[in-house]
Structure 1
Amino acid sequence: MNRKFKQLAGGVSIAFALMGGHAAFADTIKIGITQNNVGVDSYQTTYEKAFKEAAAAESGVETVVLDAGGDVARQIAQVQDLIQQKVNAIIIWPTNGKAVVPAVRKAQAAGIPVIVTNSNIAPEGAEFIASFSGPNNIQQGASAAELMCEALGNKGQIVQISGQPGYTTAIERQKGFEDRLAEACPDVKILETQPGDWNREKSQRVMEAFLVKYDKIDGVYSGDDNMGVGALNAAKAAGRADKIAFVGATNFAVGYEAMERGEYYGSIYQSPVDDAKNALKTAIAVVKGEKVPALNYFETPKITKANMKDFTKPVF
């Protein structure tokens, strides 16, 4: 399935034109990447594999692949290490969009363009990056809200399991969901929001607590399907799943399968393979001095049981 890039921000584009319009690199382009937390979920694990494969297929491209393990201090140190290695570009998947701003500023000051991938940097860091490559998380949250309105017939009470606190994707998806829910179906009320940290087991525990606290829950919105299936498992164990509509974002294989069984209402389709390839292509283009959109948002459509056959089952 083709999912085209959308250019936002009024068509604004920027380029790193060094040395008369050509980036200062030798025969080999060296790109460093510091990721958020590979292994915390299958999306990030699949992203890393796809990134390495895409880089291996690019002639004249060398990569330094690092992982912060969810630790902000470690990621900041990794950015400093990549600066010292004098890479031609740095791709960063921020562990915390605000905390990494000083490190990104240092890279930019050193003449190394920074591409943010998947989860954007805080607004105060936007001036220090060459481009953002990834999904529009605000729109994903809004689309998920529309799915919830459909599932509940515009009336009911729900709980929300958000992602990791301080993580831009979690913040944006929650904002997009809450803002659109209030507009599209104001009679659907959020009882409570708790973080699931992108972790299925923690989200199951969060949902268990919700089920004890609230006698009536009509729906659950989770920041991704990994957490959503954790919530589903808790509801199934309590014998209450058939009375609850489950909506997520970033459709995982387990969410796709649950949707097929009729246990999960809907989600947002997003490919980690596309995510990784787009980030690499953006970094290469920036290093070569090509014009690159400030915001590269690829399409992430709604997926439900009604249209799921139009989408390939996620590999993560």
Structure 2
Amino acid sequence: MNIRIALTATVAAAALTGAATAAEHGAMKIGITQNNVGVDSYQTTYEQAFIEAANANDSVETVVLDAGGDVARQIAQVEDLIQQEVDAIIIWPTNGEAVIPAVRKASQAGIPVIVTNSNIAEEGFDFVASFSGPDNITQGSRSAEIMCDRFKALGIENEAQIVQISGQPGYTTAIERAKGFEDRLPEVCPNVTLLETQPGDWNREKSQQTMEAFLVKYDDIDGVYAGDDNMGVGALNAAKAAGRAGDITFVGATNFAVGYEAMEAGDYWGSIYQSPVDDAQAALQTAIDVLNGEEVPFLNYFDTPKITQDNMSEFTKPVF
């Protein structure tokens, strides 16, 4: 980790040498290319919060773009931002590996790159000034702990069988949340069996279909882990339609309003609390700090605590 931080500091310093400190030349021009704003309410709320935070800062000018989930479009957007000579680029990657050449090109042009929400693959770290977002592996790990604690309370920790609905294939957040869960679960509940994992692509309807297939295939499912509550509620809806929801513990990795409501109703057990407003504001502030020459950690995480039916009164209902 110390090596990565050192490399990042070098990259950031080199970028600032080429572009100079934006504050010296008036407003900082910061471009952002997002993953897919229309795919879920988290990303929609993130964009709104980002624009509001930028508009509230007189020293910032932004170019806000959306890749619509298309890797080729995102690569073209990064190249366009380079041509516009923005001072910094924030990227919410559509694919953690495919965007690396574009990120490298921006870095080589002297433009610091901040990755937001979902990190790129490790081989691209040398071209990134900082990552701003949640620790997805920790989120997956905490979700495993939530699941295990629930099984222990129910007395089924030595026999429970579960399925997993992961996010978009190739997407770093999906990969890391799955890894965090899969690595941690055997440590806390070694006798729980993970029957199968299938992607839900962050989509409620697809996740419902995925769960329908699981219910046909497996007579005994004690738990469902989903990469976010949007997918988790899709799975819940399938189980309700099949009359099997009461026998299954549902756990997500990002608490959405629909998940919170399902928890209130007693149908959904727990998740991880993550604010898209905090996410957006942290990304913008990280870019500003880099451009101002401040020391910024490579992995700039914000906290995402556990939320379950037992402690949900301590948290406000998500707005997304």
Q: TM-score range by the shorter chain?
A: over 0.9
Partner of 2:68: 69
Q: CA deviation at 1:152?
A: 1.6
- Output the CA distance in 2 between the equivalents of 1:254 and 1:23: 43
Q: Which amino acid aligns with 2:56?
A: A
Cα separation, 2, equivalents of 1:108 and 1:298:
25
Structure 2 counterpart of 1:159, from 136, 159, 163: 163
- Partner of 1:235, secondary structure, is helix
Would you say the 8 A contact 1:21–1:289 is kept in 2? no
Give the SS at the match of 2:38.
Answer: coil
CA contact (8 A) 2:165 2:224 kept: yes
User: Unaligned regions of 5+ residues in structure 1, if any?
Assistant: 1-7
**Distance in 2 separating the partners of 1:245 and 1:81:** 46
Name the aligned partner's letter for residue 258 of structure 1.
A
Q: Tell me the secondary structure at the aligned position of residue 260 of structure 2.
A: helix
The 5 Å alignment of 1:64-143 reads 64-143=63-142
Residue pair 2:162, 2:195 contacting (<8 A) in 1 also: yes
Q: Using the aligned pairs only, state the percent identity.
A: 75
Query: Are 2:213 and 1:215 aligned?
Result: no
Q: Which moved more, 1:95-104 or 1:144-153?
A: 144-153
Q: Is the 8 A contact 1:16 1:290 kept in 2?
A: no
Q: Distance in 2 between matches of 1:148 and 1:108?
A: 41
More helix by share: 2
Matched letter for residue 23 of structure 1: T
What's the TM-score, normalizing by structure 2? Answer: 0.94
TM-score (norm 1): 0.95
State the SS of the aligned residue for 1:293.
coil
- 8 A Cα contact 2:37 2:47, kept in partner: yes
Name the SS for the 2:178 alignment partner.
Answer: helix
- AA paired with 2:182? E
Q: Is the counterpart of residue 16 in structure 1 residue 20 in structure 2?
A: no
User: What pairs with 1:38-49 in structure 2 (closer than 5 Å)?
Assistant: 38-49=37-48
Aligned partner of 2:27 in structure 1 is 28
Shift in alpha-carbon separation, 1:169–1:20, aligned structure 2, 3 A: closer
Residue type of the alignment partner of 1:278: A
1:260, distance to aligned residue in structure 2 (A): 1.1
In 1, Cα distance between equivalents of 2:114 and 2:197: 31
1:180 and 1:10 map into 2 onto residues whose CA distance is: 26
CA distance in 2, matches of 1:139, 1:291: 24
Q: Deviations over 1:194-217 (max 9, x none)?
A: 000000000000000100111110
Residue of 175, 182, 185 corresponding to 1:181 = 185
CA deviation string 1:95-136 (max 9, x = no partner): 000000000000000000000000001000001000000000
Q: Paired residue for 1:232?
A: 236
Question: Which SS does the other structure have where 1:138 is aligned?
Answer: helix
Deviations 1:147-196 (A, max 9, x none): 11112222300000000000000000000000001111111111110000
2:27 touches 2:61 (CA, 8 Å); kept in 1? Answer: yes
Task: Give me the CA root mean square deviation.
Answer: 1.6
Partner SS for 2:206: helix
How much has 1:10 moved relative to structure 2?
9.0
In the TM superposition, what is the alpha-carbon distance from 1:59 to its structure 2 partner? 1.0
Query: What do residues 202-241 of structure 1 show as CA deviations (whole Å, max 9, x unaligned)?
Result: 0000000100111110000000000000000000011000
Tell me what 1:60 maps to. 59
> Within 2, Cα distance between the matches of 1:253 and 1:20?
44
Q: Contact conserved, 2:19 with 2:110, CA < 8 A, in 1?
A: no
Cα distance change, pair 151–54 in 1 and its aligned pair in 2 (3 A)? same
Verify the 8 A CA contact 2:232 2:250 in the aligned structure 1.
yes
Q: Which protein, 1 or 2, shows the higher relative CO under an 8 Å CA cutoff with sep ≥ 6?
A: 1
Change (3 A) 1:36 1:190: same
Q: Give matches, 1:240-255, under 5 Å.
A: 240-255=244-259
Question: How far did residue 288 of structure 1 move?
Answer: 1.4
Between 16-25 and 180-189, the greater mean CA deviation after superposition: 16-25
Distance in structure 1 (CA, Å) of the matches to 2:164 and 2:317: 25
